[in-house]
Amino acid sequence: MEILAKVAFGLYVLIILAGGLTAVSSTSLVRALVGLIVSFFGVAGMYLLLNTPFLAFMQMLIYVGAVCVLIFFAVMLTRADGRGEEAQGVGAKRRLYALAAALLPAGGLAALVVRHAVASKQLPVELDLPALGAGLLDQYALNFELISLVLLVAMSGAVLLAWERKEPK
Partner 1 sequence: MSALSLYQLVALMLLAIGFFGLVRRRTLVGMLIAVELMLNGAGLSIVAAAQLTDANATLGQLGTLLVMGLAAAEATLVLAIIVVVSRRFGTTEVGVVSTLKE
Q: Where in 16-45 is the site for partner 1 (CB under 8 A)? A: 16-17, 20-21, 23-25, 29, 32-33, 36, 39-40, 43
Q: How many residues bind partner 1 (CB under 8 A)?
A: 83
Look up residue 70 and give its amino acid: L
Site for partner 1 in 146-165 (CB under 8 A): 147, 150-151, 153-155, 157-159, 161-162
Is 143 a binding residue for partner 1 by CB under 8 A? The answer is: yes
Return the amino acid letter for 20: G
Nearer to partner 1 by C-beta: 56 or 169? 56
- Determine whether 59 is exposed, middle or buried from the number of CB atoms within 10 Å of its CB (0-12, 13-18, 19+): buried
Q: For residue 26, count other CB atoms closer than 10 A to its CB.
A: 17
Name the minimum Å distance from CB 168 to partner 1.
Answer: 19
Is 40:68 a contact under the CB 8 Å cutoff?
yes
CB of 24 to partner 1, least distance (A): 3
Applying CB under 8 A, which of residues 8, 38, 48, 71 lies at the interface with partner 1? 71
Please state, in angstroms and rounded to a whole number, the distance separating the CA atoms of residues 104 and 23: 20
